[in-house]
Structure 1
């Protein structure tokens, strides 16, 4: 199992990556109809991948997609798999179109040509407090990360690790701000989706994705079938069918931080959000 920890262009990297795999991702050459999913870790990546599989490839294909199959249907560009090799190499073996590709990298380490060549880029963001809780658990259970677990104490993790950006992919605040800026700089080929909107406005979010991808809008029955097929229990059943990893699909809840965070820690997170986004109205989505 590959486990590395290093800094690259001022970003903390931990897990199954190498400097070479990330730089190769940065220089990755896409195809014209590629679809990218860009997310900070634990912000709805797996859920959105499943939604996109169901929308683009169909519900029958989704029903056959577990964790191992997802690696080949929706490659994770910068990761290094022991058997399959680098994620971008897996992507280059796909002959069907459109390809769907995933990356957790901040915008300055993402493939350069997705901006210059206007690829379709879907960016999903999530409240930092729920993100931090999910990452705390992930560092306890994910095989490629447990070696970098720094504490079993939640408050210590929140204050000294997450707030300081001393974890894989660096600061949530810097990552999120940079991708929001890209979405605004290149609005024609970027779609910003809030994790919370997928929960509260699923049908509306699916319509936005369909429009962005230039696809005919799905009918109501298909959307409801997709919603059921991408519910947590359904995804867990598929992902754990032939896999030893049991925590890739988490609880998928909103506002769980309210029962876990002290008022003092919540305020520190909100202060960082205000400092990062200043007078930008989008800050209210993260407080």
Structure 2
């Protein structure tokens, strides 16, 4: 069967520990020797993000760009996590990320990772692999990560929102501080030409434009019609209903608590942050981000029709 039997009981939630200077859980370190020594191929493409920053979205876009036309059956029968292996994952209920990657026969190989830049296996740099990094503004990222930790038994229990937010500001999350992650990859972009740095907010605001940018970066001559079809197929509501992209077939996630794909909005943080929390967050943010040139938007202007436009965008930087 293309979809593995996933009827095992979910495990108890793991504890956080320090791994090479980064907060981790054992699911991402149990297979570390194979991750560290993974042999990349020249045409491998990495999709790298901090958790809950649009990983599945961009994975699906690339999967459709490369394989949607030639293998439509796969799109409807094989979950995205089998088609785009999560490199460092070792969950037992499915093959490890390295095993999935080694056994895939598709070319190019699409691989996702949440690793901070300094932990990426060196073979990807040696092979000059293309890397698509996606970053999301810290406030929305924190809210999304909180709800994810509430429903994901493979992550530590988050506590209440205020407890989680304090931990987020301290960088005590799986895969380490948001600040270090987005800054580390931003710095890498300055010296590594095969890396495109996308913003979640731009993807929400004008998906078609970002798909066009991806095609240009990847050297794909995709027709306007194909791009428009893909752009329509990867809208949030369509993906949320799609069992091959919404992770509903994974047993470690409790969909009664929260869906894996919740809202996908920019600016939803306003419904979660108190005034005091927002002021504290802004102070911490200013300190942590004072030495970087990367800028984020915490809101965009949505049109009443449900779309949005680059022209009407508010440049609401933190």
Q: Same fold (TM over 0.5)?
A: yes
**Normalization by structure 2: what TM-score?**
0.80
Mapped to 2, the partners of 1:227 and 1:135 lie a distance apart of 25
Question: How many residues are matched?
Answer: 280
Larger helix percent:
1
RMSD: 2.3
1:53 Cα offset (Å)? 1.0
Q: 2:232 aligns with which of 225, 228, 233?
A: 228
1:111 Cα offset (Å)? 1.4
Q: 1:149 aligns with which of 130, 137, 157?
A: 157
Partner SS, residue 270 of structure 1: helix
- Structure 1 regions of 5+ residues with no counterpart? none
Q: 1:196 aligns with which of 181, 191, 201?
A: 201
Q: 2:264 aligns with which of 252, 265, 276?
A: 252
- Is the Cα–Cα contact under 8 Å of residues 146 and 158 in structure 2 kept in the other structure? no
Mapped to 2, the partners of 1:15 and 1:66 lie a distance apart of 32
1:117 Cα offset (Å)? 2.4
1:252 Cα offset (Å)? 0.8
Mapped to 1, the partners of 2:72 and 2:35 lie a distance apart of 26
Could you report, residue by residue, the CA deviation over 1:37-71 in whole angstroms, capped at 9, with x for unpaired residues?
00100001111111111111115746753796222
| Alpha-carbon spacing, 1:105–1:128, altered in 2? closer, same or farther (3 Å) | same
1:204 Cα offset (Å)? 1.7
Mapped to 1, the partners of 2:70 and 2:143 lie a distance apart of 33
Mapped to 2, the partners of 1:6 and 1:230 lie a distance apart of 35
* Aligned pairs for 1:29-44 within 5 A: 29-44=39-54
Q: Note if 1:71 corresponds to 2:81.
A: yes
- Is the Cα–Cα contact under 8 Å of residues 14 and 167 in structure 1 kept in the other structure? no
Q: 1:12 aligns with which of 16, 23, 26?
A: 23
- Is the Cα–Cα contact under 8 Å of residues 88 and 96 in structure 2 kept in the other structure? yes
Q: Note if 1:276 corresponds to 2:256.
A: no
What residue in structure 2 maps to residue 170 of structure 1?
176
- Structure 2 regions of 5+ residues with no counterpart? 1-9, 298-316
